[in-house]
């Protein structure tokens, strides 16, 4: 299997990559690791006229950690941040990374590429929602900051314009005293594209859990945070009745669709089960 013919350009600066994107926004695709793009090209699901390779741009290899954020630029691979010691301070992200694809695809696939691909069930999108943060896009018009909760518009559609390059993503550091858990459901075990990804996070204050956040994503439903009305009711001791109620209310609000792996209704039942299990794990951390 081979991709349809395309032209190729290895940009050496961000400005050059942006200029190429501006020339033919609809017909140009950004190539970083290519671990999601190339499979679509070989199946001829996409036929871009040109691929702009951004992996030769030195500026896009920045990876840094401050007291508040983990900042990952577009060339940084999933394997690099998985092995980056400060990542361990970003709870659900550190838990999700070793299961993103396989080690061989994480060696090439980038964090920003996974987000820009906007697969609704992908692990990193759910982590971005739960941790919060922002995405920095760049084009010939300049920089644009997009808040995490505004980034995913629809399955496989992000807030990036056709001429914009995802430059950097920033994940917010969970405040002290916060714990979180990540879990996903796959059909063919580790490394498979998830049917559903879910994560929960809460601050444990005394014998209470506060500031509960729940993020889920799966086919049809882009990564999304559970609305405050659902999570506020969970503050406190996280008893079984509250957990079950939250799972049911959340599942009813999600717009899953069916695909070859699971129907929409199955995904809704998975949400109730998986989110319930994650919240019970959180409860075990409350003294």
Partner 1 sequence: MSRTDKVSIAMRVNGRPIRADVPARMTLADFLRERLGLTGTHIGCGEGLCGTCNVLLESRSARACLTLAAQADGTDIITIEGLSLPGQPSPVQDCLVRHHALQCGFCTPGFVVLIAELLAEVDAGKRPTAEQICEHLNSSVCRCTGYAPIIAAAQELVADRIVAKANRDNATPRTEAAR
User: 145: exposed, middle or buried (C-beta count within 10 Å: 0-12, 13-18, 19+)?
Assistant: exposed
Binding mask 227-256 for partner 1 (x = CB under 8 A): ------------------------------
* Count of residues touching partner 1 (by CB under 8 A): 36
Closest separation in Å from C-beta 50 to partner 1: 5
Q: Say if CB 97 and CB 86 are below 8 A apart.
A: no
In sequence order, what DSSP letters do the residues of 121-160 get, joined into one string?
T-HHHHHHHHH-EEEEEEETTEEEEEEHHHHEEETTEES-
Kindly identify the residues of this chain, within the stretch 54-73, that bind partner 1 according to CB under 8 A.
Answer: 55
Candidates 50-58, 66-74, 88-96, 172-180 — which segment interacts with partner 1 by CB under 8 A?
Answer: 50-58
Closest separation in Å from C-beta 273 to partner 1: 24
Candidates 45-53, 141-149, 151-159, 213-221 — which segment interacts with partner 1 by CB under 8 A?
Answer: 45-53
User: Considering only residues 85, 189, 206, 287, which one is a binding residue for partner 1 as defined by CB under 8 A?
Assistant: 189
Kindly identify the residues of this chain, within the stretch 98-117, that bind partner 1 according to CB under 8 A.
Answer: 98, 102-105, 107-108
Question: H or E segment at 40?
Answer: helix 37-42
User: Considering only residues 19, 22, 50, 235, which one is a binding residue for partner 1 as defined by CB under 8 A?
Assistant: 50
* Distance in angstroms (rounded) separating the CA atoms of residues 63 and 133: 15
Closest separation in Å from C-beta 137 to partner 1: 22
User: Considering only residues 14, 17, 51, 57, which one is a binding residue for partner 1 as defined by CB under 8 A?
Assistant: 51
Q: Say if CB 54 and CB 45 are below 8 A apart.
A: no
Between β-strands 165-172 and 133-139, what pairing exists: parallel, antiparallel or unpaired? antiparallel
Closer by beta carbon to partner 1, 61 or else 264: 61
Residue 45 three-state SS:
coil
Kindly identify the residues of this chain, within the stretch 1-40, that bind partner 1 according to CB under 8 A.
Answer: 1-12, 20, 31, 34-35, 38-39
Q: Say if CB 155 and CB 128 are below 8 A apart.
A: no
Q: Say if CB 283 and CB 224 are below 8 A apart.
A: no
Q: Say if CB 201 and CB 280 are below 8 A apart.
A: no
Footprint of partner 1 (CB under 8 A): 1-12, 20, 31, 34-35, 38-39, 41-43, 50-51, 53, 55, 79, 98, 102-105, 107-108, 189-191
């Amino acid at each position: 299997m081979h991709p349809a013919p395309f032209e190729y350009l290895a940009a050496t600066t961000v400005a050059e990559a942006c200029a190429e994107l501006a020339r033919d926004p609809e017909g140009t695709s950004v190539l970083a690791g290519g671990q999601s793009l190339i499979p679509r090209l070989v199946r001829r699901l996409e036929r871009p006229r040109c691929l702009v390779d951004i992996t030769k741009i030195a500026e896009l290899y920045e990876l840094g950690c401050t007291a508040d954020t983990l900042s990952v630029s577009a060339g940084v691979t999933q394997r690099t941040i998985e092995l980056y010691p400060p990542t361990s301070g970003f709870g659900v992200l550190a838990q999700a990374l070793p299961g993103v694809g396989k080690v061989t695809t994480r060696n090439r696939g980038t964090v920003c590429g996974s987000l820009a691909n906007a697969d609704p069930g992908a692990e990193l999108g759910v982590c971005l929602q739960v941790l919060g943060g922002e995405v920095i896009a760049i084009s010939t018009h300049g920089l644009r900051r997009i808040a995490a909760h505004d980034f995913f518009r629809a399955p496989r559609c992000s807030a990036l314009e056709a001429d914009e390059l995802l430059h950097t993503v920033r994940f917010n550091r969970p405040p002290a005293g916060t714990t979180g858990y990540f879990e996903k459901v796959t059909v063919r075990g580790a490394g498979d594209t998830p049917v559903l990804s879910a994560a929960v996070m809460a601050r444990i204050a005394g014998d209470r859990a506060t500031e509960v956040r729940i993020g889920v994503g799966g086919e049809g439903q882009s990564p999304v945070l559970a609305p405050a009305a659902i999570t506020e009711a969970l503050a406190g001791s996280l008893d079984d009745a509250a957990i079950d109620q939250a799972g049911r209310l959340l599942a009813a609000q999600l717009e899953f669709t069916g695909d070859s792996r699971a129907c929409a209704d199955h995904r809704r039942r998975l949400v109730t089960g998986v989110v319930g299990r994650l919240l019970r794990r959180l409860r075990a951390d409350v003294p």
